[in-house]
Amino acid sequence: MGDETGFATGGCACGAIRYCLHDAPYVVHCCHCTDCQREGGSAFAVNAVIESARFSAQGPAPLADRLESASGAGQQVMRCPQCHTALWSHYGGLGNKATFVRAGTLDDPALCPPTVHLFTRSKQAWVGLDPATPAFAAFYTGRDVPQVLGENGAARLRALRAS
């Protein structure tokens, strides 16, 4: 990737697609819903959420897979056309305004630990959660946004919703 300046970089398994988060994500979701478990083949999915204007990718055009979601709004999963690694998603609520980057595809996934756990009602019993990280049986609500995202993250989300 030409200019990899920013908060973090990453890419697919074969290296065809590289991306850059030009700022820190405004929230990192660790989702324990059964859809994320099934689609990812794991106990949860970790998504670093950033404004799409603060995200860039280079390489071949990703494949867009439309998958259902519990909300009914669905998600569009962007995959490498060569190795089919799921790299990021766009969810119905914010559409293409926000990019939900799969934290496991970062060059350094340790940069994006979960800031919130979602859908813990379907969490695998053997997964332990840090009591210092907010956790919700389903998705957090509007009144929880300041606690979950902090002042800066809440302002960034407000700006996205208003755009």
In the block, tokens 């697919």 appear at 12
- pTM of the model as a whole: 0.93
Sequence-ordered list of residues with C-beta below 8 angstroms from that of 2, at least 6 positions apart, any chain:
58
Q: Which domains are present in the chain?
A: 8-162 (3.90.1590.10)
For the four alpha carbons of 153, 116, 21 and 73, in that order, the dihedral sign comes to: negative
Give the tens place of pLDDT for each residue, 27-78. 999 999 998 899 889 999 999 999 999 999 999 999 999 887 666 677 899 9
